[in-house]
Structure 1
């Protein structure tokens, strides 16, 4: 087997939930006659999702959602599968990146699956000729949902999109455990530095930041959290982390990781105040949280290594990982979220795509929640795969929980 096939086979054996869904898809063919267009991180776990959709009867066209997150051998392996067409390439220029998205859209997909909303953005701007073909879409990540809700609020979103990112199964496992473990793993394997004892600054205390802070503390880091939301800041304080502004944290941190999904988190006012050897990484979707352009324009010198760009400012080195892109995927050895975590998220994704295939024409344009039965069903499939049993409510308990007349 080629390396891409080996990677996909490895991932598949640790994705029992998606395997269970695939068996049903093979029998029922919910996507028969449909084309699905995807812009996701093209790596082994994504490949298992793509194979699952193709097994359900779909013709799948896929490209990347980040120029540095594609594993070329996996993309090549996918392109050999019947009914699957892959256009992703690691290191694509901006022009090549959008050309690949256009190739996906040339297939006129009935369903879109996005991680960051670039497909939907392209459809609503440069490729409005595709609008009439689309029944609906699914969005995988927080940044994409923010963009979609802004579109919907302005009345610009022309078809229904399921917010896969917003389910408990995504938040509790993908965001917390997936982002936390994979980001730290990429930082450690890229730099070979010790986490224990370091001042570890986490920008943002959403689900991703929360997981990263907890995992870093478990490795012995002294964690500082910066926030703009007073409730999340208070939560971080109650969880036992130091809370302060980024301006105050700048001269303390040894490692900085941004998880906000917003722009301009580490900027020109922060870099000159950092320690010599400070390490900067981003765990948000787009490369806008760290102002790498300012560093490149003002550094006395720059040294490029695999996955690390070192900028020297007034004799002090600042190390940026993965060009400020997603650190868990864009470093040379970044593997993304752990397999078992993505089994859950991609199971929700597959079932949400099936929901769109069956009910998309009935839904109004806008952002829609994942039906709770899908989210709960994925959890039950995972429990079954683990051999775990849980209690069920008795009829009396169900009555009690749904009644307003039963009091003290």
Structure 2
């Protein structure tokens, strides 16, 4: 089959949503127009494991217009927009994704994309990359290169490389300045709170919000929660980041202490069991738990399932857990990525830069012979995307004069 989706009849609705998102993606629009005629990806297959959202649709159709044959699957069982998947299927994209798909379907869809024998891969969390290396080593040997979108995925690919198991070069798109400065900080910051509010309809003002992790995503979440009137507490394991959080005006303490006083808990670390069940036992009745890290391992949900007396779905993407002592806690989006499980992901304007990085980095991999390893986005690509974004916003910046350039290069 060319696609595995919920309902092709949803395509019209998806088309309107994709069109709306595209209005906020001027850099991708520039790239689409620039490469539509030359088609640099002609004859190439791309396997992409991404959140199937309106923004992703615009990236995928940009690749399509540049000549690529694209195979798309979801990078999270709860992140797919069925309307968008239907639109892409109608547009001729090989798309295998359905919101709420079970574990077997999720992994089968990843394998379908791998079995297309891709020339390039684009990943979000490295599930496709790891499956390709473990189960399809022969096909991995033929891949020209890959791009990774997330911090979690970059960590996994770097671990593969460290063990000398990586079979083709990767560009860590997540680490581009025009990605983590904006997507992680402003995108995650806004969309995480958006997901929690949609699921709970709570007021953030006056609440104690505990943010686990003060990387770029944690900075964004903390900044936005503070801006909405919350009293923010940060938990960290890295002393420099913890110090930065203090200097930014936040309280910093271990999770053991924060658990006793927090109202809302948000994990953004990329690690497992950041909120353990023994932390949950210390929380006040009515505490709300949400995860904005890539995988659903940051909150010890399995222990919550084992120890619960009862569980019920009380609102859309909000589950109430009751424990033996009568305490109730509320879990948003099953502990999965909250901004996509309970909302629509990042705003299009920040994904514009992230996906422009994906497009140009893929083109760079195709046009350059690179040894196996994990590489940053070339600085010239990062700066060009920033320049185009500034231009699209109707603004401009200064340039150095010959005298200034000479001065800066002189000892």
Gaps of 5+ in 1: none
* Divergent runs of 4+, >2 A: none
For residues 38 and 238 of structure 2, the distance between their equivalents in structure 1, rounded to whole angstroms, comes to: 46
For residues 260 and 212 of structure 1, the distance between their equivalents in structure 2, rounded to whole angstroms, comes to: 12
For residues 393 and 139 of structure 2, the distance between their equivalents in structure 1, rounded to whole angstroms, comes to: 42
Give the SS at the match of 1:145.
Answer: helix
For residues 410 and 246 of structure 2, the distance between their equivalents in structure 1, rounded to whole angstroms, comes to: 37
Q: Does 1:74 align with 2:81?
A: no
Name which of 319, 333, 350 aligns with 1:322. Answer: 333
Name which of 344, 349, 361 aligns with 1:340. Answer: 349
Q: Which residue of 2 aligns with 1:403?
A: 410
1:128 to partner: Cα distance = 1.6
Q: Which residue of 1 aligns with 2:36?
A: 26
Q: Which residue of 1 aligns with 2:261?
A: 252
For residues 120 and 288 of structure 1, the distance between their equivalents in structure 2, rounded to whole angstroms, comes to: 19
| Deviation per residue, 1:131-154 (Å, 9 max, x gap) | 132100000000000011111111
Give the SS at the match of 2:146.
Answer: strand
1:280 to partner: Cα distance = 0.4
1:403 to partner: Cα distance = 2.1
Name which of 149, 152, 176 aligns with 2:158. Answer: 149
Q: Which moved more, 1:167-176 or 1:126-135?
A: 126-135
| Deviation per residue, 1:31-84 (Å, 9 max, x gap) | 0110000000001110000000001000000000001100111111101113x1
| Deviation per residue, 1:222-278 (Å, 9 max, x gap) | 000000000000000000000000001001100000000000101121011101110
Q: Which residue of 1 aligns with 2:365?
A: 356
For residues 86 and 38 of structure 1, the distance between their equivalents in structure 2, rounded to whole angstroms, comes to: 9
For residues 385 and 168 of structure 1, the distance between their equivalents in structure 2, rounded to whole angstroms, comes to: 18
Q: Which residue of 2 aligns with 1:273?
A: 282
Name which of 371, 375, 380 aligns with 1:368. Answer: 375
For residues 355 and 174 of structure 1, the distance between their equivalents in structure 2, rounded to whole angstroms, comes to: 21
Q: Does 1:15 align with 2:25?
A: yes
What's the RMSD between the two structures over aligned residues?
Answer: 0.9
Q: Which residue of 2 aligns with 1:38?
A: 48
Q: Which residue of 1 aligns with 2:183?
A: 174
TM-score, reference length from structure 1: 0.97
Q: Which moved more, 1:12-21 or 1:216-225?
A: 12-21
Q: Which residue of 2 aligns with 1:99?
A: 108
Q: Does 1:202 align with 2:203?
A: no
1:129 to partner: Cα distance = 2.7
Residues 141, 168 of structure 2: 8 Å contact kept: no
For residues 151 and 133 of structure 1, the distance between their equivalents in structure 2, rounded to whole angstroms, comes to: 17
Give the SS at the match of 1:251.
Answer: helix
Gaps of 5+ in 2: 1-10
Give the SS at the match of 2:233.
Answer: strand
1:30 to partner: Cα distance = 1.1
Superposition pairs of residues 189-338 of structure 1, within 5 angstroms: 189-305=198-314, 306-313=316-323, 314-331=325-342, 334-338=343-347
For residues 330 and 410 of structure 2, the distance between their equivalents in structure 1, rounded to whole angstroms, comes to: 59
Q: Does 1:380 align with 2:387?
A: yes
Count of residue correspondences: 399
For residues 87 and 34 of structure 2, the distance between their equivalents in structure 1, rounded to whole angstroms, comes to: 24
Q: Which residue of 1 aligns with 2:5?
A: none
Q: Does 1:56 align with 2:66?
A: yes
| Deviation per residue, 1:336-367 (Å, 9 max, x gap) | 001101111111111111111111xx111110
For residues 403 and 154 of structure 1, the distance between their equivalents in structure 2, rounded to whole angstroms, comes to: 42
For residues 119 and 395 of structure 1, the distance between their equivalents in structure 2, rounded to whole angstroms, comes to: 48
